[in-house]
Amino acid sequence: MSKQVERHDISDELYVYLQDNSKRWYARIKVVDKWYSKATKQKEKEKAIGMAYRLQMEYQFMADRNILVSTKRFRDVAEQTINSMQVLINKSKAKDKDKDKDKDKDPIVDKYTAYIQLLRKYHIPFFDRIYITSIDSDKLSEFDIWREELLGRAPAKSTLLNHNAAFQQVFKEAVQRKWMLVAQVPQLSTKGASAQRRAHFTHEEYERAFDAVLALEQNSRKEKTRQIRELLLDYMEFAVNTGIRPGTEMESLTWGDINIDSNEHNIIFYITVRKGKTVKHTGIREVVCRDEIFSSVQALRERFPNRKPSDKLFRLADGSSSKELGKAFEKAILEIGLKSSPHGVRTLYSLRHTYITWQLMSGDVSMEVLAKQCGTSIAMIEQHYSHVTPKMYSKELSGVDLGKAKPKVKDKKTSGSKQNQVRLTELFKEWQISYKQRGCI
């Protein structure tokens, strides 16, 4: 909370003061038996006094015409705004419950829940007891600097849009309750950091990362730690070979979401993604899988012989989920010097970017198909992977086809193409039988 460090009385109804969190003077004005605070935007005391007289005249002018509002501190307005949004959330949930609607697809609940989280984490801690009518461009600039330090980076434009939307809810509440005038609402900036290239792994780097996690698993001291690292290996294979988002999308997958179908002599293997970042906008999507993840699927089947369709796919031996996969992955790539890259810090989420990058560089999949597979838009792929897309058309652009180098497939269980093909044939038969018997492979 800010404290008053200096004060200069001008009259019984007017004074200026400094706070410990600003170098600019504020004016305190008494009009119609009520005190109001307003920023003078001046660093020099004499100029601040002159501005205080002017503000006093403006407040008296508004009071004479019944347009003077009784302002509130930001925290009070924000808390009232949160209460109002919570009412809307509760109503929407009750309505959806009556309709037996999937709550994950409710935009009202998701939107206002996100706004509440942003207000509590960023806006309320910074603006706190500042009067909402005192928030001006200078104070917003201070907030921008503070927020960037808290984030550890310059916020992207999409981040700013979300923050501003939450901020505007507070100003809207204040205007509706006559705690500020529309003319007093400050203009919020949307100038964020430009889109950056996404950090990914080359095929060789991914092999090293996989081997590093495998080494950690084999040298685990505790059984639970070993299980986490074992699960991470399968998690990595799924992410880097399907493009499914690590986090909610991956962790919400169940055995019932893995589907197997046949089309003449071909086996179609796909995963249904039901929850995640874009599902509420695009609906559920089906991700077609390639044989790179079959060994991981089989490893999971062997670890969970009594699996049911509703069981989570990525879980430990006791059935519990783990929040340690990201930390285990970070430990592994940190030890082998792959945490940092020319395009930013790598995380578990970088495996999704790796999948998209590999697919673009192979040139085997169109951007439209890739966008649907990954649950994103063509525009987003073009925006973040523009450095890769020319390589999709290397033959057309150069007039020379040097052929595509086939990446080495990481396989924990099988080796040799003929042996692998025979094994896959047997696996599919076994999976189809299991699917018919228990509703999952």
| Residue in this structure with the two tokens 């040097």, named with its chain if needed | 402
Q: Which tokens sit at 178?
A: 């006559």
**End-of-domain residue from the set 154, 184, 214:** 184
- pLDDT value at residue 407: 45
Q: Are 180 and 69 in contact (CB under 8 A)?
A: yes
Out of 5-19, 94-108, 175-189, 392-406, the most confident range is 5-19
DSSP 174-193: HHHTTSS-GGGPPPPP---B
Measured CA angle at 368 (ends 365, 370), to 5 deg: 50
Does residue 314 have a pLDDT over 60? yes
Diameter over CA atoms, the chain: 95
**Same structural domain, 108 and 39:** no
* 222 and 177, same domain (yes or no): no
Residue 104 burial (CB < 10 Å; 0-12/13-18/19+)? middle
The predicted model gives 225-239 an average pLDDT of 97
State residue 237's pLDDT score.
95
Residue 349 has pLDDT above 90, yes or no: yes
Three-class SS state of 27: strand
pLDDT, position 398? 43
Is 267 within the bounds of a domain? yes
Together in a domain, 127 and 238 = no
Strand partners, 18: 6
Cα 314 to Cα 255: distance, rounded to the nearest angstrom: 9
Domain count, the chain: 3
Task: Examine the domain organization and report whether 41 and 176 are in the same domain.
Answer: no
The answer to the question of residue 192 being in a domain is no
Interval 324-348 mean pLDDT: 93
Task: Give a yes or no: residue 193 inside a domain.
Answer: no
Residue 196 included in any domain: no
Lowest-confidence segment of 111-125, 301-315, 417-431 by average pLDDT: 417-431
* Cα(181)–Cα(293) distance, integer angstroms: 59
* DSSP category for residue 123: I
Q: Residue 189: inside a domain, yes or no?
A: no
> 234 and 179 in one domain?
no
Domain match, 46 and 108 both:
no
Task: Decide if 197 is inside a domain.
Answer: no
For residues 95 and 220, membership in a common domain is answered with no
Distance CA 403, CA 396 (A): 13
| Last-in-domain residue among 153, 184, 215 | 184
Kindly state whether residues 214 and 178 are assigned to the same domain.
Answer: no
Higher pLDDT, residue 226 or 32: 226
What integer pLDDT is reported at residue 242 of this predicted model? 94
Output the average pLDDT for the chain.
Answer: 85
In this structure, are 22 and 55 located in the same domain? yes
CB 328 within 8 A of CB 346: no
User: Are 286 and 226 in the same domain?
Assistant: yes
- Residue 259's H or E segment, with its range, is strand 258-263
Greater model confidence, 366 or 257: 257
Whether residue 338 contacts residue 346, with contact meaning beta carbons closer than 8 Å, is answered with yes
- Alpha-carbon span 185 to 316, nearest angstrom: 52
CA-closest candidate to residue 287, choices 270, 268, 312:
270
Assigned domain for 191 exists: no
**Which ranges constitute the DSSP H helices of 106-262?**
107-118, 124-127, 137-151, 157-176, 203-218, 223-242, 248-251
**Is the domain of 228 the same as that of 301?**
yes
Say whether both 337 and 273 belong to one domain.
yes
Q: 323-349 in b/e burial notation, b at 16+ Cβ within 10 A?
A: ebbbebbeebbeeeebbebeeeebebb
41-86 residue pLDDT tens? 999 999 999 999 999 998 888 788 766 666 789 999 999 999 999 9
Final residue belonging to a domain, choices 41, 64, 87: 64
Does 105 reside within a domain? yes
Domain of residue 384, residue span: 203-438
Q: Which two tokens stand for residue 353?
A: 């970017």
pTM over 0.85, yes/no: no
The dihedral of CA 25, 166, 371, 211: what is its sign?
Answer: positive
